[in-house]
Amino acid sequence: MYDRLRPSEADMASRKQLVEKLQRIFDSEWPAHRFIVHPFGSAVNMLCSRASDIDRCQFAIGKRHGRSCHIAHLLRKHGFRDIDLRKARARVPVVRFVDPDLHLSCDINVNNPLALHNTLFVRHYVTRHPLVAPFMLLIKYWTQRRVLNDA
């Protein structure tokens, strides 16, 4: 079951392609600002499944363009679809969208270094024993099937 849940090499290449695409868009639109796209969450901590989105690509950006509404506008301009700002006013604002070419979902949050830290923390434990990743991925699958994972 674990092997069926894990993303294929093509899935991983598509995820990488989306991160690179976002980096190019932000570099070309706001060249004076230093944007760095950081994938984190399951995309990095080795708990990614075939059904996983690109877990919250984080942007290290300044205050002027770092607002969720600016990011949403830029995404719309570049043809991304299903842009969702319902979590834009949360403690950690999130903009959700879908890439129309790669058919990948992505969540973006801004300047949340704790997310990167937590990702590396989980990855550390996942790499300590060969049974941790399969066990955690099965738990993740179980919670997704019961709609307990996106509270």
Which ranges in the chain belong to alpha helices (H)?
Answer: 2-5, 9-29, 42-45, 68-77, 113-126, 132-145
Q: Are 100 and 76 in contact (CB under 8 A)?
A: no
The angle, 0 to 180 degrees and rounded to 10, between the axes of the packed helices 113-126 and 132-145 is 120
The whole-number pLDDT of residue 52 equals 82
Instruction: Please give the Cα distance from 147 to 95 (Å, whole number).
Output: 20
Residues 6+ positions from 145 with CB-CB distance below 8 Å: none
Q: Catalogue all structural domains in the chain, each as residue range(s) with its CATH number.
A: 2-142 (3.30.460.10)
Query: Cα dist. 65→29, 84, 93, 96, 135 in Å?
Result: 10, 18, 14, 17, 40
The whole-number pLDDT of residue 65 equals 57
pTM of the model: 0.85
Low-confidence ranges of the chain (pLDDT < 70): 55-66, 150-151
Instruction: Please give the Cα distance from 48 to 42 (Å, whole number).
Output: 5
The whole-number pLDDT of residue 3 equals 86
The whole-number pLDDT of residue 92 equals 83
The whole-number pLDDT of residue 66 equals 63
The whole-number pLDDT of residue 129 equals 94
The whole-number pLDDT of residue 60 equals 60
The whole-number pLDDT of residue 49 equals 86
The whole-number pLDDT of residue 75 equals 96
Fill in the amino acid letter for 92: V
